[in-house]
């Protein structure tokens, strides 16, 4: 059963109030002892996932697909810049963003295509399903991250796996001819972004059905690997406060959908 429109509206309005709390908190130091302002308390209501309750396997995947594909706002590729400046803002320096793979904090204004800039990394390589950068998977902020231009180029469209030589300018990241291994602190983030993409994009809305497999060299097929390694990375590198925060920001301010595998990490094993 789908929640009623009123139910959804109530959930969203509750979220709006919750998100307002940190702003009010600055002017109200005598806030209650509950950690309502903590970034590691995700601001979502279980009503959002009501239709997935009690499901497992393919029915769970289908229910989550419906939930995260309903009432979604798609962004233009140029709108993605501002969304990333918000979702990946450095909590210690609001004028900067945290870069994927290196963890470096870099000026939010240094976005572009030149050496020293950051750009929009498609964690699900956009050639895998050939979805480009029109509104859709190519502009879905749940798998887009600010990344150093040269490191982005090193990753290219490689599948993810372990091994290789360390990437220049990105300590702890490795690559070889058919795969890229991100630094440990990003391994789980990448796995969860790819899990989201496989569920969000099911062959509708004019795009390919994106799915995970255990291969490398997927090329332009709508697959991404390697699933067995991503499942290990999901366990090794659990959900962080930064992932929860960006999930909230994307939900509240931009796309109005969530990454279920950040909210419910246990669902990964229920599906794969
Ligand atoms: Ca992580
Ligand atoms: Ca899919």
Is the model more confident about 203 or about 45?
Answer: 203
Asked if residue 28 is part of any domain, the answer here is: no
Q: Does the pLDDT of residue 225 top 90, yes or no?
A: yes
Asked if residue 3 is part of any domain, the answer here is: no
pLDDT of res. 270? 98
Q: What is the pLDDT of residues 99-145, one digit of tens each?
A: 999 999 999 999 999 999 999 999 999 999 999 999 999 999 999 99
Polymer length in residues for the chain: 272
* Ligand 1 midpoint to CA 192 (Å): 10
Q: What is the pLDDT of residues 145-155, one digit of tens each?
A: 999 999 999 99
Identify the nearest ligand to the CA of 103 by its number.
1
Domain hosting residue 146, numbered range: 63-271
State mean pLDDT over 157-172: 98
Among the ranges given (20-34, 80-94, 161-175), the one the predictor scored with the smallest mean pLDDT:
20-34
CB atoms within 10 A of CB 39: 17
pLDDT of res. 46? 81
Identify the nearest ligand to the CA of 234 by its number.
1
pLDDT of res. 44? 62
CB atoms within 10 A of CB 35: 10
* Ligand 1 midpoint to CA 6 (Å): 35
Asked if residue 200 is part of any domain, the answer here is: yes
Q: Does the pLDDT of residue 32 top 80, yes or no?
A: no
Identify the nearest ligand to the CA of 137 by its number.
2
Whole-structure pTM value: 0.85
Considering the chain, what is the average pLDDT of its residues?
A: 88
Q: Does the pLDDT of residue 269 top 70, yes or no?
A: yes
Identify the nearest ligand to the CA of 68 by its number.
2
- Residue 157's contacts (CB-CB under 8 Å, 6 or more residues apart) are 125, 126, 127, 128
Rounded Cα gap, residues 88 and 247, in angstroms: 10
Asked if residue 260 is part of any domain, the answer here is: yes
* Ligand 2 midpoint to CA 184 (Å): 26
Asked if residue 4 is part of any domain, the answer here is: no
Identify the nearest ligand to the CA of 128 by its number.
2
Q: Does the pLDDT of residue 13 top 80, yes or no?
A: no
pLDDT of res. 248? 95
Q: Could you give the percent of the chain with pLDDT greater than 90?
A: 83
Residue 11 pLDDT grade (very low, low, confident, very high; cuts 50, 70, 90): very low
- Residue 15's contacts (CB-CB under 8 Å, 6 or more residues apart) are 43, 44, 45, 251, 252
Asked if residue 20 is part of any domain, the answer here is: no
Asked if residue 106 is part of any domain, the answer here is: yes
Asked if residue 30 is part of any domain, the answer here is: no
Neighbours of ion ligand 1 (CB under 5 A): 185, 188-189, 237, 240
Rounded Cα gap, residues 203 and 194, in angstroms: 16
Q: Report how many domains make up the chain.
A: 1
């Amino acid at each position: 059963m789908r929640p009623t429109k009123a139910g959804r509206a109530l959930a969203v309005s509750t979220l709006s109030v919750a998100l307002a709390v940190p702003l009010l908190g600055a002017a109200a130091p005598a806030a209650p002892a509950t950690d309502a302002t903590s970034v590691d308390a995700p601001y979502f209501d279980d009503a959002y996932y009501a239709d997935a309750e009690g499901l497992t396997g393919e029915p769970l995947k289908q229910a989550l697909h419906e939930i995260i594909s309903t009432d979604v706002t798609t962004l233009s590729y140029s709108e993605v810049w501002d969304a990333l400046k918000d979702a990946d803002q450095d909590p210690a320096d609001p004028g900067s963003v945290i870069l994927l793979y290196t963890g470096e904090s870099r000026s939010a204004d240094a976005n572009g295509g030149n050496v020293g800039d950051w750009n929009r990394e498609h964690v699900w390589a956009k050639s895998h399903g050939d979805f480009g950068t029109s509104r859709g998977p190519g502009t879905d902020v749940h798998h887009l991250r600010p990344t150093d231009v040269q490191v982005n180029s090193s990753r290219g469209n490689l599948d993810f796996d372990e091994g290789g030589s360390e990437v220049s300018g990105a300590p702890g990241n490795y690559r070889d001819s058919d795969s890229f291994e991100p630094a440990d602190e990003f391994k789980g983030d990448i796995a969860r972004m790819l899990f989201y993409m496989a569920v969000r994009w099911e062959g509708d809305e004019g795009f390919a059905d994106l799915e995970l497999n255990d291969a490398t060299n997927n090329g332009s097929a709508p697959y991404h690997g390697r699933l067995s390694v991503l499942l290990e990375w999901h366990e090794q590198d659990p959900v962080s406060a930064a992932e929860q925060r960006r999930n909230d920001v994307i939900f509240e301010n931009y796309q109005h959908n969530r990454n279920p595998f950040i909210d419910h990490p246990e669902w990964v094993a229920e599906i794969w």
